[in-house]
Amino acid sequence: MTYVVTDNCIACKYTDCVEVCPVDCFYEGENALVIHPDECIDCGVCEPECPADAIRPDTEPDMEQWVEFNRKYSELWPVIYTKKEPLPEAEERDGEKDKLGKYFSEAPGEGG
Ligand code: SF4
Ligand code: F3S
């Protein structure tokens, strides 16, 4: 199994998750992060760290699309291992529905 980042990370990007990952398998887009499913060791320590509750195990229902989403962008974006400021609109956007359709950017983040 793996953990994956899901919809509510988009337009928030709190980044608390990256500091606890023992294998540095988070990758940064302009306004979201993803986890590389083949690098994640399923330790689960990142899940409770996310203020937006965006990190889920792939054992939950309907996670296939998010596993593929995480795989695709983790191969395009740079690795991130240092916590940064959340996006300015994070608090306002936290919990909105369909953030993938409304806000997602395919552009890479800065990483690091
Ligand atoms: Fe990293 Fe563990 Fe989270 Fe996987 S479950 S992304 S290994 S902290
Ligand atoms: Fe995103 Fe949550 Fe990490 S909002 S950046 S998965 S702490």
Please report, for the domain that includes residue 44, its CATH number: 3.30.70.20
% of the chain with per-residue pLDDT over 90: 100
Find the mean pLDDT for residues 12-23.
98
CA of 102 to the centre of ligand 1 (A): 27
**What pLDDT is recorded for position 112?**
98
CA distances from 12 to 4, 17, 43, 82, 90 (A): 16, 12, 23, 16, 4
**What pLDDT is recorded for position 41?**
98
Q: Which residues contact 15 (CB under 8 A, 6 or more apart)?
A: 33, 80, 83, 84, 86
Neighbours of 112 (CB within 10 A): 10
Residue 102 domain-assigned? no
Residue 11 domain-assigned? yes
User: What lines the ligand 1 site, CB under 6 Å?
Assistant: 3, 20-21, 23, 25, 35, 40-46
Amino acid at position 104, single letter: F
Write out the residue range of the structural domain in which residue 9 sits.
3-85
Residue 99 domain-assigned? no
Q: Whose CA is nearest to atom 4 of ligand 1?
A: 40
Residue 104 domain-assigned? no
**What pLDDT is recorded for position 64?**
97
Give the CA count within 13 Å in the CB-facing half-sphere of 98: 2
Q: pTM above 0.85?
A: yes
**What pLDDT is recorded for position 68?**
98
Residue 78 domain-assigned? yes
Q: Whose CA is nearest to atom 2 of ligand 2?
A: 50
63: its two tokens: 């996670």
Residue 54 domain-assigned? yes
Domain tally for the chain? 1
Residue 60 domain-assigned? yes
